[in-house]
Amino acid sequence: MNENEYVQKLEAIADVHIHKHPAHIVDNKVLAYDREKMIPHILGPKVLELGCGDGDWIPHMIRLFGHSYVVDASSKLIAHVLAANGANVTAFNSLFEEFTPPDGLKFNTVIATHVLEHVDDPIRVIRRCREWLAPGGVVLIIVPNANSIHRQLAVMMGIQKTIYDFSPRDHEVGHQRVYDMQRMRSDIANAGFEIVFERGLSLKVLPNGMMTEFPDSLLKALVDISDKMSPEWMANIAFVIRPA
């Protein structure tokens, strides 16, 4: 796939974020609760987000640090977040692999939430983060977990052959891989980083499409219970890393 085809693919995935369906709304609610647990690990004042996604991190970075920075190859998503946040966000239209911050700009935190499962070469992207970090800076990573209870149940029910198989939802949002704890740790080490902190986020027993009628209180409880459970079983796994 050449660069133009790759960008066209990203623009198609962008429509999933802009035009939300009920399953996506459930995902956003859970990710919002996940975000609350990870915000204390973010160092400021300069924070770079890899990928606009739904733009949900941006208001929090503006609230905490007065400004937000984001890099994304999708011009659709960039236009979307600029319209919502105006002068309080600086958006760079670039592939991660080709991005160079202007004027020697460095960041205290690089956020890569639900990004590394999408890219062609995640180790390369993590390695590039070193170039963007200020001294003492960290990278915050969140990825889906192959060992999540809902994936294990799908295998037991014969819906998937293995926990690493792609669901229709994985295909829709452009996933290229599903991580487990060991693979993520390996990619982090191979990129030249070390783990400062790791945890699991959200107990998920059903696909998002089957959770659309769950009240917000239940969705929050499924996230909060992850504080008491092994990260290997959670829907998402989170890491704070720094250059080794």
**Could you report the per-residue pLDDT of 118-163, keeping only the tens digit for each?**
899 999 999 999 999 999 999 999 999 999 999 999 999 999 999 9
Compute the mean pLDDT over every residue in the chain, rounded to the nearest whole number. 89
**Domain assignments of the chain as residue spans, ordered by start:** 3-243
Strand-pairing partners, residue 58, are: none
Nearest to 142 by CA among 206, 201, 215, 191: 201
Confidence of residue 22 (pLDDT cuts 50, 70, 90): low
User: Average pLDDT of 205-230?
Assistant: 92
Tell me the C-alpha distance between 166 and 178, whole Å.
8
Residue 140 in tokens: 């915050």
Confidence of residue 209 (pLDDT cuts 50, 70, 90): confident
Tell me the C-alpha distance between 163 and 180, whole Å.
10
What share of the chain has pLDDT > 70, as a percent? 91
**CATH superfamily, region 3-243:** Vaccinia Virus protein VP39 (3.40.50.150)
pLDDT above 60 (res 229)? yes
